[in-house]
Amino acid sequence: MKYGITYGIIKRRTKNFKDKLKKGVDLFMKILEVEIKNEQGVHARPATLIARLAKKYKSTLKIKRKDEEVDAKNVFGIMTLGAEQGEKLTLIADGEDENELLENLKKLIEVDKFFEE
């Protein structure tokens, strides 16, 4: 895999990059690290907010915590991560609207703190 940095977001070569190159699609997925700031961490309500937001976009989104990686459009998958306050999650987005998706998720998680504070 090849890595590079663009606008503070790490880019990693995606699968099937030759097919995407032929179609003129961005060859890199975006990776962003966020910190859980709300007191109670990621429980049912924040997991639902993340999944609901992710489903609004065409891009695929994975969330990684330590060695676990889950589909961000699956509420139960997100809850199984058990992320607590102060922990860092890695968001991996791939698709045509990946930048907007990551920006909105970062705002939801780090700025709005899931609207809990």
Query: Which residue in the list 20, 43, 106, 113 is annotated as catalytic?
Result: 43
SS3 18: helix
24 close to 17: Cβ distance less than 8 angstroms: no
The first and second tokens of residue 70, run together, are 């889950």
77 close to 44: Cβ distance less than 8 angstroms: no
81 close to 65: Cβ distance less than 8 angstroms: yes
Q: Which of 99, 90, 106 is nearest to 28 (CA)?
A: 99
116 close to 110: Cβ distance less than 8 angstroms: no
| 3 catalytically annotated | no
Residues annotated as catalytic (active site), given as ranges: 43
